Amino acid sequence: MMKTIAATPFEYAFDPAHTALVLIDMQRDFVAAGGFGASLGNDVTRLQAIVPALQRLLAAWRAAGALVIHTRECHRPDLSDCPPAKRLRGNPSLRIGDPGPMGRLLVAGEPGCAIIDALAPVGKEWVIDKPGKGAFYATGLHEKLQAAQITHLLMTGVTTEVCVQTTMREANDRGYECLIVEDATESYFPEFKAAALAMLTAQGGIIGWSAPSAALIEALR
């Protein structure tokens, strides 16, 4: 059944049966102290602030019986899928693959790679491990979504201007109707989040729509 909500730049219509809620990279390595995000010098408490909104939206979406997708940015233990240009850039205190307080940073299977307990996957929810910023690169996600007859994606998670925006742009190029949930995404830099939201919805929704989580939750009631 189609639902319509007030959104930017205009109303967004979606059928939960053909829509997936995507939680991008809500991992300990980005959200918790001692992870990769913290090693870059960021204040990870900014990302933790969206967890309550995400929990409410996730609960409503699960109650509606609709598809939930979790992503994790991570690499193979031998780092064969991590280009040197990615690992060696900048001057962080720790690099991808280095041992940290939660195991090797951004390496599959390590404690820091895990999605935080408050948003942990349940049941048959999808978990997509991705070696890049976007969830469509080298993951087979597009084919899985096509097989599941998914046409619409609700984007949440971190960080707004990097992995979330990249995934939304990839999805737009593949024909998905995307909405980013304003209070369920966050950046280490508030000005970057604001700029990303503006860019995604500019020019009549050139990439997609944005709306607060409350509008989605109300539509599901």
User: Active-site residue numbers?
Assistant: 25, 130, 163
Distance between CA atoms of 116 and 138, rounded to whole angstroms? 24
- Beta strands (DSSP E) in 77-208 are 99-100, 103-104, 126-130, 152-158, 177-186
Tell me which amino acid residue 84 is.
P
Q: Which residue has the tokens 């949930």?
A: 181
Of the candidates 12, 19, 18, 16, which has an alpha carbon nearest to the alpha carbon of residue 204?
12
Distance between CA atoms of 98 and 175, rounded to whole angstroms? 38
Of the candidates 123, 132, 107, which has an alpha carbon nearest to the alpha carbon of residue 27?
107
- Strand-pair category, 152-158 with 177-186: parallel
Q: Give the number of residues written for the chain.
A: 221
DSSP state, residue 26: -
CA within 13 Å, CB half, 7: 28
Cβ neighbours for 1, distance < 8 A, ≥ 6 positions apart: 15, 16, 17
